Chains A and B, each alone.
Chain A
């Protein structure tokens, strides 16, 4: 039987340490996904925009069509942090969601999250210090900027950050685990508020005023795309040694 997404073999806990996306991911056929991979090759949320209420449509389309300019970070910070955001979100190729643009806009507008851990600086300062900390780590690898590092080294550093495993420099005055919480909160919100990411994961989107009616297991609205598993015929034949 051909493999498909019903089985869990493609999930990270079932293929520990395997780099890159799992095999079998189709290319996007309708609309855009980050890096044009996804599970739902014919699902394009933006094609539904005409069915959304005006307030939602304005907000979501503006997010896609007019990514805000970088105003909060300076050029050096922006380059380092854009590379950081792309490493956290595994965006190694175009098309990319401009994650840092949304983060910068939020910080520029002072739209923070409503709490701050005792002993931690303001979220805006946390971001600046993280940029310095990442560049410090790059210098240990002989390069001046985190953005200049090869992808595997960037992943190594981000992995240490995620594990709270950084020390010295900025980290002596800012626990890395708390800083990780601050920055990832904004990174995830920026990435997964973008319709390209909704296409990739098969999310139905705003759905107002229309709503959903087909809620059962395996059901979908007529306009929701279905999941697809794609096998490259040439590679498959070679792999299985089939004629």
Chain B
């Protein structure tokens, strides 16, 4: 038995106290009342736009290194006790529901499907899966002749995966795929719906493992244990599911970060030398400007490109850092159809977190399948409105809809995440329509390529094999997409990327892109953990460059650090 296995659940992260800073009797973040504040005119060391997976981790790390930081967040600073409900329709406040236009041959639905808002970001309503990327994801062009190579390798990120897994913490069985690893917490119990899927998979030679999920399985500071209520996607009222709101924001605030909620960034401003000077934002209907030595944009794959494209100036007439027309391109989504199956017994798939078991057996390229790259298989647990969407997508309304709905508890659902390839024409642009602040809304165009279609069709056939082997009496299918990745990707040259390997814009020395939009490929893993690990690495790089001269007052040193990174 390895030491790591022996220590499961016993050791928390040494350099993040969030779990202890939470209140055992209330879910709101206790440090909020005493949070440090900065004046707009005060030039902070770092201004981060977006308090999600990328922004919150960066803030927490650098605050511990003494940086003076403000985070602008468009959405509210939620108190889960009073602001969230155990109700699907009541969870709408968690989603980005302001208008966006979707186009292309395969339009991607946004809003509740993949776009969150509020302190904690889209991880407030992710299901909870936290797989790592595989080493191959960082070099798909070299290995498979598709996609792009990253300007960094898995091995540069590995230590940060481990750190973040300890902070969330991640629970799951030992992981045999990609770079084999184990998790800090033991796997959660599996419900009846997932057991059926596991039986079927085993019968056709597919191995599924429990996890990995960002939900402690045991005690973890003042984070309560999961109560298996199944509303993970609707915001965890329990504080059991990991999101930056509970994993990084408390520690960030304790180290002097100001998180300015309800603040919509509309422009990153630059001086005549082409350096960022801060960000214009709207709070309470009033336009304001926060000065900063360095700006990090972390608004996810739609809003990050939108903000840069809207930040036009004489020097950057096509948008900030967009001299080579790269901002907004290579946006990716994963093909994520579900196939549900019907069995004689009641399984009540609304119980337990939707992410229970998963398989990465088909993750890598296998030439015999006739396409490059692959997919993963995961359980999902749609609640009634979600289940109604499945039934309707399969072509049933009226009495047929009602009957499949009445049959809800007999069903179990598997989904997949198919790696769809990055394409330049899948991009975010500005639409003609303006939002309430007078800022052009975003448009996302998306069209699959031939490899994508083959991947999805093959993956779906595997799900049907599983259900047939399990003895399913009936099946229902829905085509959908999951996640958003890319849009301001990192690379090795300004002609084909927006930022370098240290997330710094090629064209603007003190502008960083610190979120999922910096990723050049997406694998068939949920992106949250990798987004956090990237910000963790970025913070290390910045601190190393700033040392030893950086101090709490070292805006100059900070600028130098970013410029040198």
Among B120-128, B167-175, B362-370, B381-389, the stretch in contact with A: B381-389
Task: Give the distance to chain A from B349, nearest Cβ to Cβ, in Å.
Answer: 10
Q: Is there a chain A Cβ closer than 8 Å to B88's Cβ?
A: yes
Q: Is there a chain A Cβ closer than 8 Å to B96's Cβ?
A: yes
Q: Is there a chain B Cβ closer than 8 Å to A242's Cβ?
A: no
Closest to A185 in B: B389
Task: Give the distance to chain B from A149, nearest Cβ to Cβ, in Å.
Answer: 15
Cβ B229 vs Cβ A211 within 8 A: yes
Q: Is there a chain A Cβ closer than 8 Å to B205's Cβ?
A: no
Task: Give the distance to chain A from B24, nearest Cβ to Cβ, in Å.
Answer: 14
Chain A residues with Cβ under 8 A from B405's Cβ? Answer: 192, 197, 200-201
Q: Knowing A55-B83, A201-B408 touch, does A208 contact B192 (C-beta < 8 A)?
A: no
Cβ B227 vs Cβ A211 within 8 A: yes
Cβ B398 vs Cβ A87 within 8 A: yes
Cβ A211 vs Cβ B99 within 8 A: no
Cβ A117 vs Cβ B107 within 8 A: yes
Which one, A8, A155, A201, A215, contacts B189 given CB within 8 A?
Answer: A215
Cβ A215 vs Cβ B110 within 8 A: no
Which one, B84, B89, B396, B407, contacts A55 given CB within 8 A?
Answer: B84
Closest to B227 in A: A211
Among B61-69, B230-238, B534-542, the stretch in contact with A: B230-238
* Docked pose: A53 CA to B103 CA in angstroms: 41
Cβ A114 vs Cβ B115 within 8 A: yes
Fill in one digit per residue for B391-404: 1 if any A CB lies within 8 Å of its CB, else 0.
01001111111111
Fill in one digit per residue for A80-93: 1 if any B CB lies within 8 Å of its CB, else 0.
00000001111000
Q: Knowing A114-B96, A115-B110, A116-B100 touch, does A158 contact B398 (C-beta < 8 A)?
A: yes
Chain A residues with Cβ under 8 A from B507's Cβ? Answer: none
Q: Knowing A117-B107, A203-B350, A203-B384 touch, does A215 contact B191 (C-beta < 8 A)?
A: yes
Cβ A155 vs Cβ B384 within 8 A: no
* Docked pose: A5 CA to B384 CA in angstroms: 19
Cβ B409 vs Cβ A227 within 8 A: yes
Q: On chain A, which size bracket covers the interface?
A: 35 or more
Q: Knowing A6-B344, A111-B92 touch, does A116 contact B99 (C-beta < 8 A)?
A: yes
Chain A residues with Cβ under 8 A from B402's Cβ? Answer: 21, 89-90, 200
Chain A residues with Cβ under 8 A from B163's Cβ? Answer: none
Is chain A's interface secondary structure helix, strand, loop, or mixed overall?
loop
Task: Give the distance to chain B from A8, nearest Cβ to Cβ, in Å.
Answer: 4
Cβ B230 vs Cβ A212 within 8 A: yes
Task: Give the distance to chain A from B226, nearest Cβ to Cβ, in Å.
Answer: 8
Residues in A40-79 with C-beta less than 8 Å from chain B:
52-53, 55-56, 59-60
* Docked pose: A209 CA to B95 CA in angstroms: 23
Q: Knowing A188-B389, A189-B89, A218-B346 touch, does A117 contact B407 (C-beta < 8 A)?
A: no
Q: Is there a chain A Cβ closer than 8 Å to B101's Cβ?
A: yes
Q: Is there a chain A Cβ closer than 8 Å to B443's Cβ?
A: yes
Cβ A10 vs Cβ B100 within 8 A: no
Chain A residues with Cβ under 8 A from B398's Cβ? Answer: 87-90, 155, 158
Q: Is there a chain B Cβ closer than 8 Å to A20's Cβ?
A: yes
Cβ B102 vs Cβ A11 within 8 A: no
Q: Is there a chain A Cβ closer than 8 Å to B85's Cβ?
A: yes
Q: Is there a chain B Cβ closer than 8 Å to A240's Cβ?
A: no
Task: Give the distance to chain A from B113, nearest Cβ to Cβ, in Å.
Answer: 9
Fill in one digit per residue for A206-224: 1 if any B CB lies within 8 Å of its CB, else 0.
1111111111111110001
Q: Is there a chain A Cβ closer than 8 Å to B314's Cβ?
A: no
State the interface size on chain B (CB cutoff 8 A).
75
Q: Is there a chain B Cβ closer than 8 Å to A238's Cβ?
A: no
Residue among B89, B191, B344 with the most chain A CB within 10 A? B89
Q: Is there a chain B Cβ closer than 8 Å to A204's Cβ?
A: yes
Q: Is there a chain A Cβ closer than 8 Å to B196's Cβ?
A: yes
Chain A residues with Cβ under 8 A from B101's Cβ? Answer: 115-118
Residues in A19-33 with C-beta less than 8 Å from chain B:
19-22, 25
Fill in one digit per residue for A104-142: 1 if any B CB lies within 8 Å of its CB, else 0.
000000011111111100100000000000000000000
Task: Give the distance to chain A from B518, nearest Cβ to Cβ, in Å.
Answer: 23
Task: Give the distance to chain A from B387, nearest Cβ to Cβ, in Å.
Answer: 8
* Docked pose: A14 CA to B396 CA in angstroms: 13
Cβ A201 vs Cβ B406 within 8 A: yes
Cβ A206 vs Cβ B85 within 8 A: yes
Cβ B397 vs Cβ A158 within 8 A: yes
Q: Is there a chain A Cβ closer than 8 Å to B348's Cβ?
A: yes
Chain A residues with Cβ under 8 A from B388's Cβ? Answer: 188, 191-192
* Docked pose: A2 CA to B399 CA in angstroms: 24
Chain A residues with Cβ under 8 A from B83's Cβ? Answer: 55
Cβ B237 vs Cβ A184 within 8 A: no
Q: Knowing A8-B474, A201-B406 touch, does A193 contact B89 (C-beta < 8 A)?
A: yes
Cβ B192 vs Cβ A219 within 8 A: yes
Chain B residues with Cβ under 8 A from A55's Cβ? Answer: 81-85
Q: Is there a chain A Cβ closer than 8 Å to B5's Cβ?
A: no
* Docked pose: A70 CA to B231 CA in angstroms: 30
Chain B residues with Cβ under 8 A from A112's Cβ? Answer: 97, 99
Chain A residues with Cβ under 8 A from B384's Cβ? Answer: 192-193, 197-198, 201, 203
Chain B residues with Cβ under 8 A from A14's Cβ? Answer: 474
Chain A residues with Cβ under 8 A from B395's Cβ? Answer: 162
Task: Give the distance to chain B from A187, nearest Cβ to Cβ, in Å.
Answer: 9
Chain A residues with Cβ under 8 A from B404's Cβ? Answer: 11-12
Chain B residues with Cβ under 8 A from A216's Cβ? Answer: 191-192, 195
Q: Is there a chain A Cβ closer than 8 Å to B289's Cβ?
A: no
Cβ B389 vs Cβ A56 within 8 A: no
Cβ B346 vs Cβ A207 within 8 A: no
Closest to A205 in B: B86
* Docked pose: A39 CA to B406 CA in angstroms: 6
Cβ B389 vs Cβ A12 within 8 A: no
Chain B residues with Cβ under 8 A from A189's Cβ? Answer: 88-89, 385
Q: Knowing A208-B229, A217-B345 touch, does A193 contact B407 (C-beta < 8 A)?
A: no
Cβ A56 vs Cβ B346 within 8 A: no
**Besides A5-B407, A7-B473, 11 other A-B contacts (C-beta < 8 A):** A21-B403, A111-B97, A114-B97, A115-B101, A192-B88, A204-B351, A208-B86, A209-B227, A209-B237, A215-B351, A217-B192
Q: Which 8 A-B pairs have the closest CB atoms?
A: A211-B227, A114-B111, A206-B86, A217-B192, A118-B103, A193-B89, A12-B400, A215-B191
A-B contact pairs, 17 of them (CB 8 A): A10-B403, A11-B404, A21-B402, A53-B237, A90-B398, A114-B97, A118-B101, A158-B397, A162-B395, A162-B397, A190-B89, A192-B384, A200-B406, A207-B86, A211-B229, A217-B345, A220-B346
Interface residue ranges, A against B (CB under 8 Å): 5-8, 10-14, 19-22, 25, 38-39, 52-53, 55-56, 59-60, 87-90, 111-119, 122, 155, 158, 162, 184-185, 188-193, 197-198, 200-220, 224, 227
Interface residue ranges, B against A (CB under 8 Å): 81-90, 92, 95-103, 107, 109-112, 115, 189-192, 195-196, 227-231, 237-238, 342, 344-348, 350-352, 383-385, 387-389, 392, 395-410, 443, 445, 473-474
